[in-house]
């Protein structure tokens, strides 16, 4: 709706120019028929200032030319074709791009406005570098926090194991020596000694279990396969949930961070089976697929509560356990998938066998499909 007396073309032009996104309008075959000020400025700053700033060129052809060198260009070309054919309404993609000020991130959005009398396609490249940087910084910090948490757990576990457990062991030994030397005393004294012995032994067991759960020494010594079997056995005894394990020996990752991440995922997922699913059985499988090592934990329980599982597919879940598992895996280039329904839940973790370092960032030396590619 435009107020009377306002000239439509001037209004549209000034509105387009006022937007921060770099915008090009294409006709129905993909030829650029208009670009806004932000597009022109970026093209100029990037040193690709042909006097028409791309107007008159075919955007689809540009993407197709770049497609063999850039998967982003290939995806955009494909989406443009689908939008032109009317089988798709919108396309969004994030991509890295070099600019005169250094590497930047953009989001391209391709749409076909419904109400236009003639068929037009609008391409908008929005600079999302700040958002990306914040995301990367957050991921880096979270990874660092998790690493510190692991270190701290390891230190506490060592302390418990080497000091507290040793002291408790000494108490049990002393108590049994006392018992031997005090066989002439009254019955109540014996009972107290007996109780002290039992308590010390029970505490020793608890401290050992706690220290193993905090940092399983098995993981360092004999690797993930043994550690997972140990975890599943201990978990079954404590929780009463029967765990069937199927471990493909060849799938055991050699990298310590990958093994630790998978162990922690198994630990959290099993604890969720016990606490939330109601299932009395679970299956734990470790195996290899192509370049990934995969860990599945499956239960036959009630499934995640709605709205966490819209359409049987997992959406975002709030919970320290699940978000922690996801973060751990993403830090190493892997991912977490959760499928859940009324007949149970499957948590799948997958990690590349050759894990990447958390500091690796996407290459910015890529063919460009933004204005400067024109
Ligand atoms: N195996 C499962 N079966 C049913 N519900 C689950 C399962 N795993 C997780 N959930 C649900 O997802 C929520 C989030 O889990 P999580 O992030 O581990 O946090 P927490 O276990 O601390 O509640 C749980 O509170 C529970 O409602
Ligand atoms: Mg949990």
Give the orientation angle of helix 8-18 with respect to helix 37-45, to 10 degrees.
40
Average pLDDT over residues 154-160: 88
pTM for the model stands at: 0.66
Residues 6+ apart with CB under 8 A from 230: 212, 216, 218
Nearest residue to 286 via CA among 297, 298, 295, 277: 295
- Per residue in 177-201, pLDDT (tens digit) is 998 888 788 888 889 999 999 999 9
Average pLDDT over residues 20-26: 95
Query: So what's the pLDDT on residue 278?
Result: 96
User: Which residues on adjacent β-strands are paired with residue 281?
Assistant: 242
pLDDT at 125 over 60: yes
- Per residue in 332-347, pLDDT (tens digit) is 999 999 999 999 999 9
- Residues 191/216, Cβ–Cβ less than 8 Å: no
Query: So what's the pLDDT on residue 43?
Result: 83
Average pLDDT over residues 58-81: 93
Rounded to the nearest 5°, which phi and psi values hold at 104? -135, 165
- Residues 133/161, Cβ–Cβ less than 8 Å: no
Ordered DSSP codes for 42-84:
HHHHTT---TTTTTTSBHHHHHHHHTTT-HHHHHHHHHHHHHH
Burial class (CB in 10 A: 0-12, 13-18, 19+), 145: exposed
321 C-alpha to center of ligand 2: Å? 4
pLDDT at 311 over 60: no
- Provide, rounded to the nearest whole percent, the portion of the chain with pLDDT above 90: 54
Residues enclosing ligand 1, CB less than 6 A? 272-273, 275-277, 299, 301-305, 317, 319-322, 345
Average pLDDT over residues 3-21: 90
- Residues 315/307, Cβ–Cβ less than 8 Å: yes
What are the residue boundaries of the structural domains of the chain, listed by start?
8-127, 128-215, 223-356
190 C-alpha to center of ligand 1: Å? 47
pLDDT tier at 360, thresholds 50, 70, 90: very low
Decide yes or no: CATH 3.30.450.20 for domain 8-127. yes
Query: So what's the pLDDT on residue 49?
Result: 62
Mutate to test the pocket of ligand 1, among 243, 321, 337 (most ligand atoms within 8 A of CB): 321
More confident: 315 or 69:
69
DSSP state, residue 290:
T
Query: So what's the pLDDT on residue 253?
Result: 75
Query: Looking at the CA of 322, which ligand is closest?
Result: 1
More confident: 310 or 112:
112
Q: Where do we find the tokens 């016990």?
A: 274
- Provide, rounded to the nearest whole percent, the portion of the chain with pLDDT above 70: 89
Q: Lowest mean pLDDT: which of 13-17, 127-131, 181-185, 301-305?
A: 181-185
Query: Looking at the CA of 302, which ligand is closest?
Result: 1
More confident: 161 or 27:
27
Query: Looking at the CA of 345, which ligand is closest?
Result: 1
3-class secondary structure, 331: helix
- Residues 178/225, Cβ–Cβ less than 8 Å: no
Q: Which atom of ligand 1 is nearest to the CA of 299?
A: 1
Mutate to test the pocket of ligand 1, among 269, 319, 339 (most ligand atoms within 8 A of CB): 319
Tallying the residues shown for the chain, one arrives at 374
Q: Which fold has domain 223-356?
A: Heat Shock Protein 90 (3.30.565)
- Per residue in 220-239, pLDDT (tens digit) is 777 899 889 989 998 999 89
- H or E, element range at 135: helix 129-159
Q: Where do we find the tokens 């008159």?
A: 56
């Amino acid at each position: 709706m435009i107020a009377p007396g306002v000239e439509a073309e001037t209004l549209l032009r000034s509105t387009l120019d006022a937007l921060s996104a770099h915008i090009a309008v294409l006709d129905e075959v993909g030829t650029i028929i208009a670009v806004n000020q932000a597009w022109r400025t970026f093209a100029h700053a990037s040193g690709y200032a042909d006097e028409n700033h791309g107007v008159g060129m075919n955007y689809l052809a540009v993407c197709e030319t770049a497609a063999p060198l850039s998967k982003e260009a290939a995806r955009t070309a494909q989406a443009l074709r689908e939008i032109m054919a009317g089988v798709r309404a919108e396309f969004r993609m994030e991509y890295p791009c070099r600019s005169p000020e250094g590497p930047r991130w953009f989001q391209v959005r391709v749409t076909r406005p419904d109400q236009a009398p003639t068929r037009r396609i609008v391409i908008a490249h929005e600079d999302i570098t700040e958002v990306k940087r914040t995301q990367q910084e957050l991921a880096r910090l979270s990874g660092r926090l998790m690493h510190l948490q692991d270190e701290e757990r390891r230190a506490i576990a060592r302390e418990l194991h080497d000091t507290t457990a040793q002291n408790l062991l000494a108490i049990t030994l002393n108590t049994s020596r006392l018992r031997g030397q005090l066989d002439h005393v009254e019955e109540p004294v014996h009972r107290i000694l007996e109780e002290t012995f039992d308590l010390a032994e029970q505490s020793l067991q608890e401290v050992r279990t706690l220290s193993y759960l905090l940092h399983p020494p098995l993981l360092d010594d004999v690797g993930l396969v043994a550690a997972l079997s140990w975890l599943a056995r201990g978990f079954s005894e404590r929780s009463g949930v029967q765990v069937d394990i199927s471990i493909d020996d060849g799938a055991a990752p050699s990298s310590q961070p990958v093994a630790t991440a998978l162990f922690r995922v198994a630990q959290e997922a099993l604890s969720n089976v016990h606490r939330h699913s109601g299932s009395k059985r679970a299956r734990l499988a470790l195996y290899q697929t192509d370049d990934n090592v995969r860990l599945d934990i499956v239960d036959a329980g009630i499934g995640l509560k709605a709205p966490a599982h819209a359409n049987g597919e997992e959406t975002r879940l709030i919970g320290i356990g699940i978000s922690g598992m996801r973060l751990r895996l993403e830090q190493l280039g892997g991912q977490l998938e959760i499928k859940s329904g009324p007949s149970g839940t499957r948590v799948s973790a997958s990690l590349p066998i050759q894990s990447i370092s958390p500091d690796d960032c996407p290459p910015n030396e890529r063919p460009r499909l933004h204005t400067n590619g024109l």
